[in-house]
Structure formats: C-alpha cells, structure tokens
Amino acid sequence: HCPLASLSPRQSRVYGRDRVKFMESLVVGDIAELKPDQGTLTLLTNEKGGIVDDLIVTNTSEDHLYVVSNAGCADKDLAIMKDRVKELQAVGSDVHLEVLDNALLALQGPSMARVLQAGLSNDLGKLSFMNSAIMTVFGVPGCRVTRCGYTGEDGVEISVPAGRVVELAERLLGDPEVWLAGLAARDSLRLEAGLCLYGNDIDETTTPVEASLVWTLGKRRRMAMDFPGAAVIMAQIKEKPKRKRVG
C-alpha cells in the first residue's frame, strides 16, 4: 500500500551568503556540513534550551536553504526568523527570507517508489534518504521531491506549487495502491517508529536531551556552544536530566 497525505507546514527559503550563519544562529544542527541538496532534521531552540520546533533544513543546489516548519509552529517560527534576519541585516549580513505559497504532499509506504517513478523522468533510485531534487512529477513542473517522511516507511515529501496540488494528488490517487491517509493514520505510524510529535512529546519546556534527540546536535556545534540554550543543553548532557523520553 501507499498512503498519500496532504500536509500544511510552512515552507520558506533563505538566501544570501550568510544564510548558513543565520540558520545556525537558531538551530542546533551542523548546517554548514550539508552537501548540495542534502537535508537534516534539526531543532529550533530557545535560550533555556527548550525546543521551539523541529525543522527540516535542506542545503539546495540553487543557492538557498529550504526550510520546512510544523504547521502549528509556523507563525512563531516565522516571527523568530524575521527578527533574526533584521538583526543580521542591521550589522551588514547578507541574508533574505522568502515564504513559499506551496503545498506539501507526503507519499509513503512500500509501493511509493513504483508509484512515483511512473510519473518521473528522473531516476528515483538515485535519490537517497534526506536528499532532494527539483523534478516534474506527473506533468507538474517545479516540484521539490525530498526522500523523507515521518512514518518510519520509505517515502517522499513533494513540495508542489499551490495551484497544481489537486491535479497532482488526483494523478497519484489514480494508482489503485494509493489511498488518502489522515492524521490518525500518520500518528499511528510515527508512534510505531518512535518519532516525536511536536506539541505532544516535545515542546518549549522540553530540551533535546530530555527528548532523547541529542543526535540532532552537530559535533562542531557542541564544541562551539553557539546555538540558543547551549549552556543548558550541554550541562544536561554531562549531568543527565531528571526526566527523559523513552520509547
């Protein structure tokens, strides 16, 4: 089977020669080490070490960062990002933020590769986990296809120009193995995979250490301690937190 879900996250692009500096001033991951068109799950943290949101950040080969935020956190994330852009621009940094009017479709499951390959000129087999590429998908140009998902299954998330999303969804649903999946189905899958849901398992009162998400902290970033809440987070790594997510 191959469930198709319509997601509603905030998608944005960060341009400018200081785009990595900007992103690393907000998140715990090593964005500078990402190869072209490689992405990573990272955490936007506050000065107390709490998780403001979990993001997917991709270093595109088109000279910008592509950022996907959770829908429920989109407004606060955007406010934080806009404020930081202004702060950096005020001291001469070259960074600009663009909010995209794109939809996001998630196609997941064992049949995903067969279903999607039928509508691609690109070889999906060359797209490895957490990598992305701009493709024409079933006749819809300008789609960013990222091999990732939040289900524990092989899958892709497809960023689609808003005016073409219904057309693409209908084409995908034309395959008998593709069916629509709602939040409850996706929630069951991410629970089985042990993946955190923002607002349920993690929030601004939870640190990466408490959430068992220390693996998202880049080694270089740990050494530099230059991300929001670094002192709190690094102290917890050494001293062990009083509470910790399991499962």
DSSP 145: E
DSSP conformation letters of 21-69:
HHHHTTBSS--TTPPTTEEEEEEEE-TTS-EEEEEEEEE-TTSSEEEEE
Work out how many domains the chain is built from and give that number: 2
Helix, strand, coil % in the chain, rounded to nearest 5: 30, 30, 40
30 and 51 co-located in one domain: yes
Binding site membership for substrate: which residues? 157
Residue type, 77: D
Domain membership of residue 246 (yes or no) is: no
Domain membership of residue 122 (yes or no) is: yes
Domain membership of residue 201 (yes or no) is: yes
Query: What confidence tier does 8 reach under pLDDT thresholds 50, 70, 90?
Result: confident
202 and 161 co-located in one domain: no
pLDDT at residue 126 is higher than 90? yes
- For 134-146, write each residue's pLDDT tens digit: 999 999 999 999 9
91 is in which domain, residue-wise?
Answer: 9-100+197-239
17 and 78 co-located in one domain: yes
Domain membership of residue 233 (yes or no) is: yes
Closest CA to 218 of 208, 232, 203: 208
23 and 66 co-located in one domain: yes
82 and 112 co-located in one domain: no
Across the range 21-25, mean pLDDT stands at 99
Q: What is the CATH number of the domain that holds 213?
A: 3.30.70.1400
Strands of the sheet containing 96-99, edge to edge, are: 38-45, 51-59, 65-69, 10-15, 96-99
Average pLDDT value for the chain: 96
Across the range 221-227, mean pLDDT stands at 98
Binding site membership: which residues? 157
Q: What is the CATH number of the domain that holds 109?
A: 3.30.1360.120
Beta bridge partners of 43: 54
Q: Which helix (H) or strand (E) holds 206?
A: none
Inter-residue contact 212 to 43 (CB < 8 Å): no
Across the range 215-238, mean pLDDT stands at 98
